[in-house]
Each structure stands twice: as structure tokens, then as C-alpha cells.
Amino acid sequence: MSTNKFEKLLEPGRIGNLKIKNRMVKSGAAARYWGMAGPDQVTDRIKYYYESFARGGIGLVIVEAPSLEPDVARLNGNWRLDDDKYIKGISEMVSLIQKHDCPAFMQLNHNANWQKKMPWEKGPASLTPPMGPSPVCVKSEMDNNNEMPREMTIAEIQGITEKIVSTSVRAQKAGFDGIELNAACTHLFHSFLSPFWNRRHDIYGCDSLENRSRFLIDCIQGIKQRCGKDYPIEIIINGAEFGNLIDVDNSECLTLKDSCGISKLLEAAGADAIQVRSIFIGRHDASFLTDHFCYPEPPIPIKTFPKEYDWSRKGAGANRFMAAAVKKAITIPVMTVSKLDPEIAEEMLREGDMDFACFNRRLIADPELPHKVMAGNIEELRPCTACTTCKVMGGFRRCRINAMVGGENLYTVEPATKKKNVLVVGGGPAGMEAARVASLRGHHVTLFEKTGKLGGLLPVAATIKGLEIECLPKIVRYEKEQMTKNGVDIRLGQTADAAMIEQMKPDVVILATGGKPVRPDIPGINNRSVLYAGDLQKTLKFFLKFASPRLLNRLTKLWMPVGKKVVVIGTDIHGCELGEFLTKRGRKVILIDKAENPGEGMINHLKFQLFWWFRKKGVEMVNGVQEYVEINDKGIVILTADGFKRTIEADNVIPASSLQPDTALLEKLKNKVPEIYAVGDCAEPKLIVDAVGSGFNVARSI
């Protein structure tokens, strides 16, 4: 008998006749590393991305959905399979997955009902209006159904059915082992299943579960007819749809009872597995990123959460009850998602709540998760901090803790051809990552950190951000453990100056000395009401010597050396997070900026949720400021975008953290050591993901 505590996770399973070597699945989620639409759309980036999961030991990889419409302008980085000319390139990627004893499914969905201009898109909207089962929309900047769709004709429904089926045939020709149809979230399939969205009265209408399911069932049966009855099909559905956020009774939406009944119909139609998710109407992203649902605060009182929604772990395993109910209703396998980790997944498998566990963000952070589970080395896992940098819409997707994501090389760290003595100055995220990777490659590494703790500004950031959404201390713990394991000589409380470094005669010096605050050039900047973010950081760092970020975050709710009315200069990620921090501590906050658009550097859905919360809390954002005229004893005087002078009264004015590289040591060491590199804010002040990435890339290259 196996003694591995993850015995159920490692147990083989089946979807239809297809054997899956374990119960871990890489869920389908857009990476958008594809090239321009064409025969060469399969880039090295996308190949290495998907192969990394298969090489890491996952049981099944589900590849993101291609666009079903040939309108390149609306592809949003998606890929195409609407013509046979794409089959060859896709088959090469599928083969890379399968060579690791890992089958691959392809997801399919259609978003005809979504608005044609997403909030993050800068280009013009498509001229094609949305269409859906009925003319129903919901006005919410946090959702994708803000434009009124026209009602689809039966011919249009059947036309999309044919596209789904014919694309599945091409997928089979490309070597995919099965198909996943996404009828969850607010995708088109779901809108037919839901009585909230579907109000028509024909064969696809709302009058019965059979009619509401007909569109999806037609697709299942069409695929089975043309690909063979043994070709596996997995369906994603919402276990329930909730109207709490838009004051709609949940009985008017897709209920758990509905979903159980629909699941029976799908099984009878030939579906081989069901994946269960859920949706809160009006909050699209946070419905599948369940741990983000309550950012920055619960949108409704937690005591009013639907009983079907398991909030006992703050979003992790939120779909558990719904998955368990669906599993009782059918005989085919059930899987689910919602920030699962190996421990939660194992527990749910043992208790019979599901048959397969789906992972996404945790796998992006560490594609080797399955292998580490098999070896019983979960303490070696790269921690996912749930920042969702891997989900940046309209931008390049990266990972804060796994700098290889999105790269054009294999996701491996190779031994150095020549071992060197490497000296790293600075124990922030860039310095720690540089030391970790350099030591992993076999170099002898010494790291100097002038303070008594590793992490740089990460503990300060954790204090301001809180730990409810992002757990930044995990990064520090992981980096420290890995450096210690790899034999890095960590010297805390020691300053490495130029003389000491020259005396040590290193082969390579990596400077991660951070940035230094920039004082804005505003008349009256020396007024006593001005508090500098850098000074606040120093104060927090002092108290962090005696308290954890979690405790200090709580203590600042009792007292802070900040007045009741505060103006924050800056509406980028730093200004917004500071504004959130102060508002949660009872301050009246106004954010101002010369920038036209607020939220630069923030993840889109978190930005929209924060701005919605700001409006509820009375936080004003003033963008497009022409000039900061002066700071005086009353507050700050600005010249608005309209050209009017405005005095904003404030007890304190806080310029949000603006940094410039601290290159003093770099200048002193030029031409004094064989190799020298600057990483992190020392090279260019940016975000945590940039700091970690720069440390990784330099260490990987030396």
C-alpha cells in the first residue's frame, strides 16, 4: 500500500476510454503566446509553455480555445483552427505534450454574446454587435455583457454548432486526444443554459432543461458522430449562477438543481466528464479567480453568500459543494477548479467530491508540481502568490515567481559550463532570485544584505497590500529556503562597500541595491504636511523588526502618523494601493495624477474592482492634472484638466513612491571587477515580476 499522503491525486483515472496517469489536470486558460494568425502561429513560446506542464508530470493538459471566427482583429492573441492549413503547426505542439505520456484536450467556446470592446482594449470596437439567446445585458465594468445583444436566429445557432463540430474534427486530425466545451462563466453556451439570459420560447428556449441544453447537446452529438463515439468530450458548466451582486434572486438564475439536471442530459448525450465552476453575474474574472472575489472587501456581506458557495477557505475550493452535488447526479467523472492546492485536492478526492483536480496558476508558478507531489517534496514548490500577473489581459503574461514563463527557451536551468565566485549585493526579490539561480547552476554565491532580514521592500509591500489576496512573505520564505539548500553564503546585517568587494575578488558582482526615492519638484514640497512614501517605508521597516507584516497590517488600523484627510500624488499601482490602505484605516483620500488613466501597473479585474470600491467609499481620483501649483498649509493647489485652479484641503500630502536606480556602488565598481550587473530597481524601478525576472535572467546567463 502506498504511503504517499497524496495517494488519491496520484491514482490513475479515465475520461471515457482515455487513461489519465494521475488525477491532476492543467485547466484550459488563455496564455496568448501565439504568433500572428497564419500557418506559423505556433511559436516557440507557446510550445515550451504547454510542454512544461507535460514534462512536469501533469495527467492531462487542456489547451486554450482557438477563435471560431476568422476576424483577425478580434482574435485578442488567440489562435486559429478554422482551416486545414493550421493543422500541421498545431500537431507539432500536441506531439510535444504527448511525448511526456500526457494526453491533450482542446477547449472550445464561443463569446458571441460578449461586448465587442473590452475595458482594457485601446483600439476601436468591432462593428459586429453581440448576439445571444435573448436581448439581455448587465451593466458592470467587471463583466463582459455590457452591450445589449440581439437575439440569435436558429440558423445562426446551427451555424455555430457546425463551426464547433468541424473545428473538433480538425483538432482530432491535429492529434488532440479529446475536446473540452466551455459552457461556464458567461460564455455563449452558458447563456443558453441560464434562464436569466435565455428568455426565448423555441426549441432552444427557456421552457425546459432540454431546450436550454439543446445547443450544447447538438454540439456533443455532432462531435461524436464525426469524430467517433469513443472520442472524449468534457464539458465545463457552472454548478450555479448567482445574482446577489445585481439584486436578482438566485432562483431566476441557473440553480444547482438545474445544473444537476443538465449534467444528466449531457451524460446521456455522450459527454465523458463534467467540470464544475460557478459565476456571480456582474463579476466575471473574480468568479473563476475565486480568491479575488472579496477584493478589496466583500461586495456583499459574507453571511449572505449562497449556501452552495464554500467560502470556508477564502475562495480556495469554493466550488466544492457544487462539484459534489453534480457528482452524485451522474456516473461520469467530475472535476473542478478554484485555487486548489495538493492538500485540498487530495481531501476532496478522498471524500468523493470530485474525480480530477484542475490547476492553473499553481502550475504556471511551478510546472513541476506533479513530480514534486509524487516525490513527496511539496515544500520545494514555487509558491503562487495569487497575483494573477499570469492573466494580464491585453499584455504579455508573466509569472512573478517563475521567470521562465513566456520565454523562448525550455523551462530549465542548466548547470554553468564554468563555475564562478558570484557576489550578490542586496537581499530583495531581484538579489534573492539571482543568488538562488546562480547557486542552482553550480556557482559559489555570497549574498550581502545590509539589514537584518531578507526581502527588501517585500515585507513593507505585504504590510500595505495585506495578505488576503497576495501572500508576498511566501516569496521570501521560498527564496531563503532554496538559497540555504543550494549553499548560498547569506550575510545579513553586513554592508558590502566597494573596498570590501574588491578585496574579495569575485568573478561576478550582481548589484541589487534597489532604488532611491525621487522628490517631486513642486513648490512647497518641504511643507510640514508632506509625508514621503520613502519615510513611511522606513517607519514600517523599523516596526517590521518586531512584528510580522500580518500583525503590523492590523496594528496600523489602530494608529498611524497620518492625518484624517490625505491627498496621494499618483494613481498608478503604488498610489492606488496606498489609497486603498489609507481608506481602510478611516482616512478621507483623494488621489491626483498628471497621467490620463489611473491604475497603471494593476491587473485589470483587480483595478476595476478597486475603482468600484473607491466610488462606494467616496475616494476621488483626479487625473489629467495639468500642474501641481503648490503645497501649502491648507493642502495642495492643482490646475485641473479643464484648466481651473482647485485647492484640495488635506492634513497630509503623500507623493506615492517614485524611484530612480541607486547606481552609486555600480559607478564605484566599474572596471574594478571582471563582470558586473545591475538587477531589479537598481537597473530600472518596476514591479516585483520585473525584479525577479531581471535577477533570474542575469543569473541564468553568467
pLDDT in tens, 112-131: 998 866 655 555 555 578 99
CA distances from 101 to 104, 200, 234, 641 (A): 10, 46, 20, 60
Neighbour count for residue 69 (Cβ, 10 Å): 18
Q: Name the residue type at position 112.
A: A
Residue ranges of the chain with pLDDT lower than 70?
A: 1-3, 36-39, 71-77, 116-127, 393-395
- Give the pLDDT score at 394: 55
Q: What is the pLDDT of residue 467?
A: 86
Q: How far apart are CA 403 and CA 398, in angstroms?
A: 7
Residue 71: per-residue pLDDT: 66
Q: Identify the burial level of 441 via C-beta atoms within 10 angstroms of its C-beta, where 0-12 means exposed, 13-18 middle and 19 or more buried.
A: buried
Q: What was the pLDDT predicted at 73?
A: 41
C-alpha cell at 37: 494568425
Q: At what angle do helices 154-173 and 209-227 cross, to 10 degrees?
A: 30
Q: What is the pLDDT of residue 533?
A: 81
Q: Domains in the chain and their CATH numbers? A: 13-381 (3.20.20.70), 421-515+669-701 (3.40.50.720), 557-657 (3.50.50.60)
- Separation CA 301–CA 320 (nearest Å): 21
CB-CB neighbours of 477 under 10 Å: 14
Question: How many C-beta neighbours within 10 Å does residue 266 have?
Answer: 25
Task: Name which of 134, 135, 120 is nearest 205 in CA terms.
Answer: 134
Residue 423 CA, chain-centre distance (Å), reads 33
- What's this model's pTM, rounded to 2 decimal places? 0.95
The mean predicted confidence, pLDDT, of the chain is 94
Dump pLDDT digits (tens) for 177-210. 999 999 999 999 999 999 999 999 999 999 999 9
